[in-house]
Amino acid sequence: MKQFRLFIALFVVGWSASLTTAQDSSKPSPAKEEEPRLETVVALKDPFLPGQVRTYYTPGFEKRAKTVQDFLTDERDFYSKELGIHLDLTVAVLDAKQWEQLNILDPYGVPTVTDFPPYVALLPANWSENRLGMLPAETEADPALVKQVQAAGAVWSETFYRGFDAIIGHEFGHAAARTYGIKPPTHWFDEFLATYFEIAFIRHRHPELLFPVQTFFAINRGYSHQYTSLNDFESRYPISDSSPTNYGWYQAMFEQRIEQVYAQQGIDFLKQARTLFPANSNAAPLSNAEVLAKLDGICPGFRGWAQSLESTASSK
């Protein structure tokens, strides 16, 4: 998927109802756009922060916009130095009303980025406005995880949303992978790569975010997950439409494998991924089995990891 659509709404129906206004039935609503367009963002006439990552924001959210811009500028600088990636990116930090005006498929609160340049990424300005239903109450969450957050002196909801904020680094990763010249042969590996860019950057530059990011993914591991295999992920893609909790679980499984690979190879894994799956290749499509075999050739353990996923089905 072009984004971390984790998560196309755990409660999309409720979200839609809260935003729907009465309309003349003789004038059907225009079709939703699959992704935001730069000209539509500019047409909002919002203020913006100039710089390497131009950042538009809903009036009243300049401080949050600056935090997002600083994070993405740092990620851009990091990958420019490490991998020679020179990426032009615009980001918009919007409230629910302006997000709706973009007329895109993704509900408010789901970070996203365009598939092709000019790359435009979105992040919500105010998490309290989202209707995704992703954050379980402390009383309903894994008690051990709740204790970890409390022991760290952190607030449950703030920790979760701080980890969710870091997903903008994953959106950057989608654009970075394309700019760098990697052509993911499968949907799952496209998502895996984007999160690899995010995790590698955070480990190098923002270790203070590791706890909220890991807490965020730990919560996702608790989501219900009827489907577990990579073959299911491909055949049902985008699985977020039919089973958003299952999609969140997959993303958490990718993160677990990423931590294992990163411990062995660090940034070099991205270099090897480009060699395995170059963007200029006209190679025939690869099956999941073939992709896993190639990955095992550079970092053993992928096939075993994939097999382990199939034994973890849940009926939650």
Q: What local confidence, expressed as pLDDT, does residue 177 receive?
A: 98
238 prior amide bond cis, ω within 30? yes
Strand order through the sheet with 112-113: 48-49, 53-57, 89-94, 119-124, 112-113
> In angstroms, rounded to a whole number, what is the distance separating the alpha carbons of residues 220 and 247?
9
pLDDT averaged over 10-residue windows placed end to end, the chain, 316 residues: 46 42 54 88 98 98 98 98 96 97 88 94 93 86 96 96 96 97 96 98 97 96 89 85 76 96 98 96 89 97 95 61
> In angstroms, rounded to a whole number, what is the distance separating the alpha carbons of residues 177 and 266?
16
Q: Report the topology of domain 32-309.
A: Neutral Protease; domain 2 (1.10.390)
The 3-state secondary structure of 83-140 reads HCCCCCEEEEEECHHHHHHCCECCCCCCCEECCCCCEEEEEECCHHHCCCCCCCCHHH
> In angstroms, rounded to a whole number, what is the distance separating the alpha carbons of residues 185 and 277?
7
Q: What local confidence, expressed as pLDDT, does residue 12 receive?
A: 44
Q: Identify whether the C-beta of residue 254 lies closer than 8 Å to the C-beta of residue 18.
A: no
Q: Identify whether the C-beta of residue 9 lies closer than 8 Å to the C-beta of residue 248.
A: no
Rg of the chain over Cα atoms, rounded to whole angstroms, equals 19
Contacts of 262 (CB under 8 A, 6+ apart): 196, 199, 200, 203, 269
Residue ranges covered by each domain of the chain: 32-309
Residues facing residue 54 across a β-bridge: 90
Beta strands in 186-303 (DSSP E): none
Q: What local confidence, expressed as pLDDT, does residue 31 receive?
A: 81
φ and ψ at residue 48, rounded to 5 degrees: -145, 155
Q: Which helix (H) or strand (E) segment is 212 a member of?
A: helix 210-221
Through-space distance between the first and last CA atoms of the chain, rounded to whole angstroms: 25
Q: Identify whether the C-beta of residue 222 lies closer than 8 Å to the C-beta of residue 136.
A: yes
Q: What local confidence, expressed as pLDDT, does residue 131 receive?
A: 81
Is 54 strand, coil or helix?
strand
